[in-house]
Amino acid sequence: MTRLSEAETLENLLPELQRLPLSSYDLARYLFSKLALANLSAQVWEIKLADATRHHFALQHHEAWLDCGADNAAQATPMVLGADTVVEPLKLLEVAALSEAQLQFMCIQSAHFDHCY
C-alpha cells in the first residue's frame, strides 16, 4: 500500500470540505479534528500570504499547507497551497480536536444558523 503525501492527503479531503458551510476558523477546526481522528498530526496557524490583504487561517500537515480562508470569511473556500506559495506563520493556535459527533453537530448547527451571517 502506498502512503499518500501530505499534500495528497489534504487534496483528498477538499471535495468534502468545499461542501461545508463553515467559517474559515471552523473549517480549520473541522479539518484539524478529522486528521486527529485518523491519528494524523496537524497544526492550525494564523498566517499571512504575500498576495492577501487579511490574515488567513491555515492548517499545516507536515510540509503541506491548506488555506482555510481569510480570518473574516463567513463561508470559507479551502485550497491546498502550492510549494511555491510564501506562507508567513504568525501565530500557532491552540485547537482542541472534536469528536465525530461534535463535528456533525458543528455542520448541522452552521447550516441551521447560516441565515445569521
CB 92 within 8 Å of CB 84? no
Residue closest to 60 by CA, chosen among 84, 42, 76: 42
Report the predicted TM-score, pTM, of the whole model to 2 decimal places: 0.83
**One-letter identity of residue 74:** A
Q: What single string gives the DSSP state of each residue in 37-62?
A: HTT---EEEEEEETT-SS-EEEEEET
6-10, 19-23, 43-47: which is most confident? 43-47
Q: What is the pLDDT of residue 66?
A: 94
Q: Which residue has the cell 483528498?
A: 12
Q: What is the pLDDT of residue 69?
A: 92
Cell of 113: 444558523
Q: What is the mean pLDDT of residues 95-101?
A: 94
H-assigned helices in 19-112: 24-37, 100-112
Q: What is the pLDDT of residue 59?
A: 95
Q: Which residue has the higher pLDDT, 90 or 52?
A: 90
